[in-house]
């Protein structure tokens, strides 16, 4: 089986001025290519920390995290940035849109970083914004959009460069049921492409049906991985 992600005995602690918080306490997790894995667990159990390590945004303290067979921790910071720009799309829990750029410019960023000319990148961004129901709003700044609209801009930005791994932190938290389902259909259609994989952190039981596997986390550990296709 080809793996998109292999985590072995990952640990991560934070030092908050004297107090040590253990966020990851020996994580073992394999994510196959072409699958959508959901990651669930109580607030503070380490979900955001884990996906940040997987996406190369945070460094683990110990253990191994391989992406598509490569140990990106061994890369130089420039190589790491290049690898992330090509291979990873990330939807942050707090969206992290650039406030001075309009919706289309935000979505176009990954394409421009990867060398596409701005005009073409913007056209592609507007096309994708149309798919998430925001075609009419591409000139709006993030501050002029609702929370759910900003979330859809963030999702479009994570998909635009057709990355091999898409990592989403609560991607439907600000969306109504119907918009959430539309976004999940779009994300799932990406996961069904060969060699594309998704990891989605969620509390939203309405979207569990889209998962191939559900990994349950508690207190810095993966306590259970269920194959969702075995669900009755």
Ligand X SMILES: Nc1ncnc2c1ncn2[C@@H]1O[C@H](COP(=O)(O)OP(=O)(O)OP(=O)(O)O)[C@@H](O)[C@H]1O
Question: Which residues of this protein are in contact with ligand X, per CB under 6 A?
Answer: 14, 16, 21, 23, 41, 43-49, 93
From the list Mg ion, ligand X, none, partner contacted by residue 46 (C-beta under 5 to 8 A by kind): ligand X
CB of 40 to ligand X, least distance (A): 9
Q: What is the DSSP string of 32-47?
A: ETT-EEEEE--TTSSH
Q: What are phi and psi of 102, to 5 degrees?
A: -75, 175
CB of 165 to Mg ion, least distance (A): 18
Between residue 11 and residue 70, which ones bind Mg ion under the rule CB under 5 A? Answer: 48
CB of 215 to ligand X, least distance (A): 12
SS3 23: strand
Q: Which CB atom, from 92 or from 138, has the smaller least distance to ligand X? A: 92
From the list ligand X, Mg ion, none, partner contacted by residue 49 (C-beta under 5 to 8 A by kind): ligand X
E strand map for the chain: 3-16, 19-32, 36-40, 62-67, 88-91, 165-169, 197-201, 213-218, 221-227
From the list ligand X, Mg ion, none, partner contacted by residue 21 (C-beta under 5 to 8 A by kind): ligand X
Q: Among residues 157, 47, 30, 177, which one has the least CA distance to residue 103?
A: 157
From the list ligand X, Mg ion, none, partner contacted by residue 142 (C-beta under 5 to 8 A by kind): none
CB of 23 to Mg ion, least distance (A): 10
CB of 14 to Mg ion, least distance (A): 13
Cα–Cα distance measured from residue 7 to residue 2, given in angstroms and rounded to the nearest whole number: 14
User: Is residue 202 within the footprint of Mg ion (CB under 5 A)?
Assistant: no
Q: Which CB atom, from 18 or from 115, has the smaller least distance to ligand X? A: 18
Contacts 24+ apart (CB under 8 A), 173-181: 173/93, 173/202, 173/203, 173/204, 174/146, 174/147, 174/148, 174/150, 175/148, 175/151, 176/148, 177/206, 179/133, 179/148, 179/152, 180/204, 180/206, 180/207, 181/206, 181/207
Q: Which CB atom, from 70 or from 219, has the smaller least distance to ligand X? A: 219
Between residue 142 and residue 201, which ones bind Mg ion under the rule CB under 5 A? Answer: none
By beta carbon distance, the residue nearest Mg ion is: 48
CB of 55 to ligand X, least distance (A): 13
Q: Which CB atom, from 44 or from 147, has the smaller least distance to ligand X? A: 44
Tokens found for residue 129: 């914004």
SS3 192: coil
The site for Mg ion (CB under 5 A) is made up of: 48
């Amino acid at each position: 089986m080809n793996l998109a992600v292999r985590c072995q005995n990952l640990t991560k602690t934070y030092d908050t001025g004297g107090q040590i918080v253990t966020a990851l306490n020996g994580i073992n997790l394999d994510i196959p290519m072409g699958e959508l894995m959901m990651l669930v667990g109580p607030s503070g159990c380490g979900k955001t920390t884990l996906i940040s390590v997987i996406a190369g945004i945070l460094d683990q303290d110990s253990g191994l995290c391989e992406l598509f067979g490569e140990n990106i921790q061994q890369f130089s910071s420039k190589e790491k940035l290049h690898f992330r720009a090509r291979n990873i799309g990330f939807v942050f829990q707090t969206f992290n849109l650039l406030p001075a750029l309009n919706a289309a410019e935000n979505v176009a960023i990954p394409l421009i970083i990867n060398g596409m000319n701005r005009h073409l990148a913007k056209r592609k961004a507007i096309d994708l914004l149309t798919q998430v129901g925001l075609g009419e709003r591409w000139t709006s700044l993030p501050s002029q959009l609702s929370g759910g609209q900003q979330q859809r801009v963030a999702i479009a930005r994570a998909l635009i460069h057709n990355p091999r791994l898409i990592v989403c932190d609560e991607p439907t938290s600000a969306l109504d049921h119907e918009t959430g389902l539309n976004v999940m259909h779009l994300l799932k259609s990406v996961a069904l492409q060969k060699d594309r994989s998704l990891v989605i952190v969620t509390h939203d039981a309405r979207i569990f049906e889209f998962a191939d596997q559900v990994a349950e986390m508690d207190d810095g550990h993966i306590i259970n991985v269920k194959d969702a296709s075995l669900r009755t």
